[in-house]
């Protein structure tokens, strides 16, 4: 599990056990919270933002596809 004050796209993907490209797709489609901060082209989330969202995100079976 990632640690640190801020999570990158790769950290979020690792936490959710999905590919980083899937995180990017979720973001583009508005299926996940917007980044809490952006530095250049790097999206950053606070861990609590992702953990709270992950508890309530829709899932169908084992698939993480939205």
What pLDDT, on the 0 to 100 scale, is given for residue 61? 52
- The residue ranges of every structural domain in the chain are 9-56
pLDDT single digits (tens) 26-52: 999 999 999 999 999 999 999 999 999
Nearest Cα to 27, choosing from 6, 5, 4, 57? 57
DSSP 1-66: ---SSSB-HHHHHHHHTS-HHHHHHHHHTT-SPPPSEEETTEEEB-HHHHHHHHHH---BTTB---
- For 56, the token pair is 């309530």
């Amino acid at each position: 599990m990632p640690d640190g004050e801020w999570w990158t796209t790769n950290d979020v993907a690792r936490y959710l056990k999905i590919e980083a490209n899937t995180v990017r797709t979720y973001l583009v489609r508005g299926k996940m919270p917007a980044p809490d901060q952006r530095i250049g082209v790097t999206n950053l989330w606070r861990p609590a933002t992702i953990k709270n969202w992950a508890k309530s995100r829709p899932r169908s079976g084992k698939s993480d596809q939205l």
